[in-house]
Amino acid sequence: MAKPTRVPAEERHARILRDLKINPALRVSHLAKAFGVTTETIRRDLDALSADGRLARTYGGAAAALGRREPAFHERQHRHVEERSRIGARAGSLIKPGAVLMVDSGSTTLHFARYITSHSNDLTVVTNSPAVAATVAVNGTMKVLLCPGEYDSREGGVFGSHATEFLRQFRADRAVIGASGLTVDGPTEAFHAAASVKRVMMACAGRQTLLVDASKYDLDHVEVICPLDELSEVVADRKPPPHLAEALRDSGVTLYLPRD
């Protein structure tokens, strides 16, 4: 019998998470055999997925994560910093002078805000993030409009009906949003009020740009923000696993990765 072809790490991770939607638990030995890798490799895979909260480690294997919790904004700021900085810079390179932007609250969009503050001029930024507003306002050529509403310290943003009504007054060239996850069904969000703000920003903009690092691939949180085909582009730090890359292509979504 021929040996199984070795499967790349990103694809292994995606398949493990998919299998956990069907099976309550997976064994290290079975996964190693299926993927044609050592048990040590599978243990590293499971440890990495566990560290990101995407599954629960068990004796000899893994189980689906229970009560998945999206880290608070102050926690997210200290995770995947290099990756998110590169995403912010790549997304910032797409922005033309004089553009009107709607910028979502979040750790990756804050990196985007830092980049455009240093590298752009004469932009108008409408945001529900006090951190984004304070960052962009350092550049005296920028016009900054901050949403009213209820501030949520865990999310680092302003939400609720006052925020969405305020956003609907404007038309933007581009909405720049983050998400808790990205699946073949679309970007997903753990916090309902945040999903509502993202949808309004997207509806008010000519282009819809999602910023997401690779740790978010295949994370199907409680709410789907929109179908994939409502996105114009995804800016990420690494290529998605094959099934997700194919879904993006089929939906007409352009994928941007950091330039080497």
Chain segment 193-230, per-residue pLDDT in tens? 999 999 999 999 999 999 999 989 998 887 999 999 99
Number of other residues whose CB lies within 10 A of the CB of residue 216:
24
Tens digit of pLDDT for each residue in 71-89? 555 555 555 678 999 999 9
3-state secondary structure of 107: helix
57 and 128 housed in the same domain: no
CA-to-CA distance for 142 and 95, rounded, in angstroms?
13
Computed over every residue of the chain, the mean pLDDT equals 90
CATH code of the domain containing 203? 3.40.50.1360
Report yes or no on 4 lying in a domain: no
Token couple for 243:
């099934």
pLDDT band at 2 (very low <50, low <70, confident <90, very high): very low
- For residue 109, give its domain range: 73-256
Token couple for 124:
């108008």
Rounded-to-10 torsion of CA 71, 76, 78, 82: 130
Report yes or no on 154 lying in a domain: yes
CA-to-CA distance for 69 and 63, rounded, in angstroms?
16
Report yes or no on 3 lying in a domain: no
154 and 222 housed in the same domain: yes
Write down how long the chain is. 260
pTM: 0.74
21 and 58 housed in the same domain: yes
- What pLDDT was estimated at residue 238? 94
CA-to-CA distance for 58 and 55, rounded, in angstroms?
10
59 and 157 housed in the same domain: no
CATH code of the domain containing 51? 1.10.10.10
37 and 142 housed in the same domain: no
DSSP string, 114-126: HHHHHH--S-EEE
46 and 90 housed in the same domain: no
157 and 47 housed in the same domain: no
230 and 181 housed in the same domain: yes
CA-to-CA distance for 246 and 251, rounded, in angstroms?
9
Number of domains in the chain: 2
- Alpha helices in 24-139, H assignment, sequence order: 28-35, 39-51, 73-76, 81-92, 107-119, 130-136
Tell me the β-bridge partners of 175: 102, 208
